[in-house]
Structure 1
Amino acid sequence: GYCAMTVDLKGHGESYWDDDETTEEFPYSMESFGQDIDRLLDKLHMSTNHEIYIKPVLVGFSLGGISIIHSKLAKSSARAIVLVDIASRMESEGVDRITSWMKTTAEK
């Protein structure tokens, strides 16, 4: 059989809001989401018997797909990557406007 997992990115679905104030980095940046994917891949690899470890297939929908692209480990750690309905390009002005709004209105 197969093992399947679903993951909610922080601040989405049933996940927590990142309220770590010890860092200057905005916790909802693309780089931050990519780092979260890296931590997940690390935990998967470390918690598995390395003799029978099978690389996962990563499927990312929308922001999840973009997060996989920003992951440093995904390319080498995954058997395959499936990207579904990701934006082919994003206007930096729009991203900056949304990020600014999120920083000022995020729940504390």
Structure 2
Amino acid sequence: MPAASRASVNREGDALRFEGALDRAAAVALWPQLAGATAVQRIVLTNVTTVDSAGLALLAELAARLRAGGTAPRFEGQPAGFAELCAAYRLTPELEYPG
């Protein structure tokens, strides 16, 4: 896999900054790093190139766990495919199901 498309996530203060393509392989590789994430206020997607349904599921689960812990994370950036997948799965841009 070319380095430009390899996904990564880095903690920067109150933010998790994602880079690369958030696809099935990225979801599998990144989840162990995210499973214990706490005190995250922002999820930064400005350097994400694309998102598929597995990447969206990773982000939705991360957001749900943060909300369950008392934090409502803000998403910054909309990579290719993000809005379309949110609409297809009937999720808000914050990756919640509307009430």
TM-score range, shorter chain: 0.3 to 0.5
Q: When the two structures are superposed, what TM-score results if normalisation uses the length of structure 1?
A: 0.36
- Bigger Rg, structure 1 or 2: 1
Q: Specify which structure has the higher proportion of strand.
A: 2
Q: When the two structures are superposed, what TM-score results if normalisation uses the length of structure 2?
A: 0.38
